Amino acid sequence: IYISLIIMCLSFNSFKEGLASLHFLDTLCQHPSVLAPALCHVEKRLTATQLEQLFVPQLSLSGSNRWTTENLALSFWADYVMDCEGPVSLEELLMFSTGMKSIPPAGMTPHPCITFAPESMDPLANTCASTITPSLLQTYSLFKANMDFGIQNSPVCIFMRMYNVSSL
């Protein structure tokens, strides 16, 4: 135990020296309330508006047939995010698409994207690129059913349910 404590103290002192060399530690000590929002995570409930504003859509050329279909899917996406307190929570949707349970204090850069693939009936996600690809379907009820099924059966959300990760 003694050796573990010594190693922890040495590591902590090295970290403090690194922060002090940039005068960051002094600034942090003098103005903790200014830097706290960027450095300290506060558990707060994710809202549908936050989630909807977080994702940036990547649409086809304006006026094309594909653009029209993508805009329909984008309106379904907005409705789905607003309705997302049923079988799928906002946290599960964020986890499915980005791999994160909540938005980090400093925000997400680059912003997560919504892309569209006409050949996919199920929603796809790339957590490395923070990209979600919802289904391009003609009715909201089909869109919602496919999104719910895809998210609920994704490995990330199954893990969240098994270990109760989604509870705040």
Tell me the DSSP string of 97-120: HHS-SS--TT--SSPPEE---TT-
Domain range summary for the chain, segments of one domain joined by +? 2-39, 48-162
Question: Is 0.85 surpassed by the pTM of this model?
Answer: no
Do residues 120 and 137 lie in contact, with contact meaning Cβ atoms separated by under 8 Å?
no
pLDDT tens for the chain, residues 1 to 168 = 788 888 999 999 998 898 888 888 888 888 888 877 777 777 778 889 999 999 999 999 998 999 999 999 999 999 999 988 777 888 889 989 998 888 887 788 889 999 998 777 889 999 899 999 998 888 999 999 999 999 888 887 777 677 776 443
Residue 14 Cα distances to 21, 26, 40, 74, 145, angstroms: 11, 15, 21, 49, 52
Architecture per CATH, domain 48-162, reads as 2-Layer Sandwich (3.30)
Query: Bridge partners of 56?
Result: 113
Residue 83 per-residue DSSP state: T
Residue 26, token pair as written in the block? 């002094």
**Joined tokens for residue 39:** 């450095």
